[in-house]
Amino acid sequence: MKEYLLLFYNQSGKGTYITSPEDMMEDMPKWQQWIGNIAMQGKLVSSQPIEFNGTVITKKDTQEGPFIQEGILLTGYMICKAEDPEEVKEWSKTCPILKYENGSVEIRPIMPFEL
């Protein structure tokens, strides 16, 4: 099985994720069920939301975020395993973040790192 990184994006608000406390209460069981279904198949490696702020370090400087591009913010990730990319695409089509107009899932195959 190959591993895949899923990145979850959504529109951001002022200093917070756009979702309201009501949306969070409604969304949490959906996320738990969605991730739980993948975990029950033995295909979940890791998944977490990420904090709004972050740091980018380059050769020239250090920048403190949040890092919002065109109003869209990276909000979380999942690492899963699957037999083929189509399986991951099908899971992603049912991701709770897609309820939001600007919600999206980016899928990246993870390349094995061999020494």
Tens-digit pLDDT profile for residues 56-78: 899 999 998 877 788 788 989 99
- The DSSP code for 98 is G
> What predicted TM-score, i.e. pTM, was given to this entire model?
0.88
Q: Residue 5: in which H helix or E strand, if any?
A: strand 2-11
pLDDT of residue 13: 67
According to CATH, the superfamily of the domain at 2-109 is Dimeric alpha+beta barrel (3.30.70.1060)
Q: Domain map of the chain by residue range?
A: 2-109
How far is residue 51 from each of residues 12, 20, 77, 78, measured CA to CA in Å?
Answer: 12, 16, 11, 15
